Amino acid sequence: PVLVVDYGAQYAQLIARRVREAQVYSEVVPHTTPVAELIARDPAAIVLSGGPSSVYAEGAPAVDPALFDADVPVFGICYGFQAMAQALGGTVEHTGTREYGRTELAPHGGVLHAELPAHHPVWMSHGDCVTKAPDGFTVTAVSAGAPVAAFEDRERSFAGVQYHPEVAHSPHGQEVLRRFLHDIAGIRPQWTIASIVEDQIAAIRAQIGDGRAICGLSGGVDSAVAAALVQRAIGDRLTCVFVDHGLLRAGERAQVERDFVSATGVKLVTVDARERFLNALAGVTDPEQKRKIIGREFIRVFEQAELDLKATGDYRFLVQGTLYPDVVESGGGTGAANIKSHHNVGGLPEDLEFELVEPLRELFKDEVRRVGLELGLPETIVHRQPFPGPGLGIRIIGEVTEQNLTILRAADAIAREELTAAALDRDIWQCPVVLLADVRSVGVQGDGRTYGHPVVLRPVSSEDAMTADWTRLPYDVLERISTRITNEVAEVNRVVLDVTSKPPGTIEWE
Ligand code: XMP
C-alpha cells in the first residue's frame, strides 16, 4: 500500500481517498508508528500529511530521518513537506509571511507540475516556510509567501509541496498527486473497482471455506453491499436476515424483499417482529429509553434468528458492513462523548460464537457505492440516504403507537417523493420528518376547526453527520410538501421547518 502518515486528522483520510482515486491502494497510519514498522509493511510509497503545528512548536512530531534511507518514495504535504525538508537538512524558517487559503502558484520545470499553467491557484495554510531545499532537491515552484513551494529529487523518488493538493480548492492537485504516484514513485495504477470486487471475493472464499454465513440487512448501503459481495463469493451458503421492527418507512421492507433480492439472488429470511416492538414500546416516551428498548429487542430477535439458522447448518460466520473510516477511528481512539446511544443493526451478540467477515473494511463510502453498482445493485439502494437503526421510533415525539407510525409514514413518504421529484436527493444529506405526537395546534380546514399534530421537516446538509447545517430548500418545494401533507394526512394540520444547525441541534430529534 501507500501509507499516509497522519500528522493531523483533518487531512490524512482525504489524502488516502485521493491516492485511491489515482487507482493506488492506500491506508492511514498514525505518525507515532516507528519507521521500522512502516518499512516492514513494504509500502509502495509514503505520504507525510499536513498537520496543525509548526515544526518549531513544542512537541511537534518530527520525521525520523531513517525513513529516507529505506529506498521508499516519499511525498510531503504542507507540514509533512516542512518536516521532510528539516529531516533531510534543508531550512525551515518562521519568516512572518503567512499564507492561508487560495494562493497563486508559479511552477517551473520538474515532473509534478509539468505542462500545468504557469500560474494556477492552490490551497495554502502555513505560517513557517521552507527557505532552502535539502541537497539533491530541485525547487520546482514558488509562491508569494513560499520561496520553496515544491521540490523534487527524482534520483531518490522524493518530492513535496507546501500546499494541499488533496483539497478541491487546488484544482490541479489530483493531477500532481497522480504524477508523484505514477511518474516519480513508479507505481502502477491497479486499484480499480473491478479488482476490489475480484480480490474481496477471493478473500471471502478463502476465509469462509465451505462454511455458512449470516448477514443482518438493515436496508442501508453498507450491509447491502457487504451481503452482495459475500453472495457472489459463496452463493446460497449466505443467508440474510432482515428484521422488520415495524419502525420502517413506507416501502422499505419491499425494497429489501423485492429489489435487493432480485438484484442479488440472495437467500433472505424476514423476521416480522412488528408486534413485539410495539408491545415493548407501549407507554414509553423518553428518547433514551426508546433507544435502549429498540436496541435490546433487536438483539434478542436477531439472536433468535441466528440460533434458528445455526440449527440448520454450519453457520459460523457473521457478515458486517464495517467501513474503513470506522476502522481508522476505532484505532485512533477519539474519546468522543456518547451523546446518544446509537444502535447498529447486526451488532455482534456476546454469547453466540461467530467469526466476523468484513469485506468493506478497507473501503471508503464512495468506493462502497461503486462496488454496489458494479455488483448490479439498484441506485435506490446504492445512493440511499442514512436512516437510523431505531427508525421512526425516534422520530415520533411521544408514544410510538401503530396510529402515530401510520401518520408519520404517510407524511414522510410525501416529503421523500417531492424531494426526489425536485432532484434534491443528492444535495441533501437526509431529511428526517418528525411527528410531534405530544403537541396539538388549532387549524381550520374546509369550514371546520381542526386540532391536529404538527410535523417537522429537518433537511440537513453534511459531510459526515458529525456537524450539519440546515438545507435551504427552495420555497416552492417546501410549499408542495406542506400542502400535500396537510391535505393528504388528515391528522396533520401544520408543517414546520427546523432551521437549527448541528451543533447545537442534533440531526434527529431524539
Ligand atoms: P444525530 O441525531 O446524532 O444523528 O445528529 C447523526 C446521524 O446518525 C444517524 N443516527 C443513527 N444511525 N443508529 C444509526 O445507525 C442510530 O441509533 C442512530 N441515531 C442517529 C442519524 O440519522 C444521522 O444520520
Rounded Cα distance between 136 and 155, Å, is 8
460 lines ligand 1 (CB under 6 A): no
Residue 277, classed as helix, strand or coil, is helix
At the topology level of CATH, where does 2-184 sit?
Rossmann fold (3.40.50)
Q: Where in the chain is the domain with CATH 3.40.50.880?
A: 2-184
Atom of ligand 1 nearest to the CA of 386: 24
Rounded Cα distance between 498 and 503, Å, is 13
Of the residues 27, 31, 78, 418, which is catalytic?
78
Q: Where in the chain is the domain with CATH 3.30.300.10?
A: 394-497
Rounded Cα distance between 70 and 503, Å, is 46
- 166 catalytic? Reply is yes
Name, in order, each residue with C-beta under 8 angstroms of 10's C-beta and a sequence gap of 6 or more. Answer: 50, 52
Tell me the per-residue pLDDT of 330-383, one tens digit each, with 9 for 90 and over. Answer: 654 333 334 555 555 444 455 568 999 999 999 999 999 999 999 999 999 999
Pocket test for ligand 1, best of 462, 508, 509 (most atoms within 8 A of CB): 508
- Which class in CATH covers the domain with range 193-382? alpha beta
Q: Where in the chain is the domain with CATH 3.40.50.620?
A: 193-382
User: Are 435 and 403 within 8 A, CB to CB?
Assistant: no
Which residue positions form the known binding site?
A: 218-224
Tell me the per-residue pLDDT of 404-443, one tens digit each, with 9 for 90 and over. Answer: 999 999 999 999 999 999 999 999 999 999 999 999 999 9
- Cell 514558488, located at residue: 142
Name, in order, each residue with C-beta under 8 angstroms of 366's C-beta and a sequence gap of 6 or more. Answer: 17
The CA 495 to ligand 1 mean position distance, Å, reads 23
The CA 406 to ligand 1 mean position distance, Å, reads 22
Pocket test for ligand 1, best of 223, 292, 340 (most atoms within 8 A of CB): 340
- The gap from C-alpha 191 to its chain's centroid, in whole angstroms, comes to 19
> pLDDT at residue 109 above 60?
yes
Spatial CA neighbour of 460 closest among 422, 498, 410: 498
> pLDDT at residue 236 above 70?
yes
Cα dist. 350→71, 345, 347 in Å? 46, 14, 9
Give the cell for residue 6. 497522519
Rounded Cα distance between 176 and 165, Å, is 7
Tell me the per-residue pLDDT of 56-89, one tens digit each, with 9 for 90 and over. Answer: 888 888 899 999 999 999 999 999 999 999 999 9
- 164 catalytic? Reply is yes
- The protein residue whose alpha carbon is closest to atom 12 in ligand 1 is 388
The question of ipTM being above 0.90 is answered as: yes
pLDDT at residue number 395: 98
Q: What is the pTM of this model?
A: 0.88
The CA 394 to ligand 1 mean position distance, Å, reads 10
Region 13-39: mean pLDDT is 95
- The protein residue whose alpha carbon is closest to atom 14 in ligand 1 is 388
Q: Which amino acid is at 3?
A: L
Name, in order, each residue with C-beta under 8 angstroms of 350's C-beta and a sequence gap of 6 or more. Answer: none
pLDDT at residue number 98: 87
Give the cell for residue 324. 474503513
The CA 373 to ligand 1 mean position distance, Å, reads 25
Band (464; pLDDT cuts 50, 70, 90): confident
394-497: CATH architecture: 2-Layer Sandwich (3.30)
- The protein residue whose alpha carbon is closest to atom 9 in ligand 1 is 388
Rounded Cα distance between 325 and 346, Å, is 18
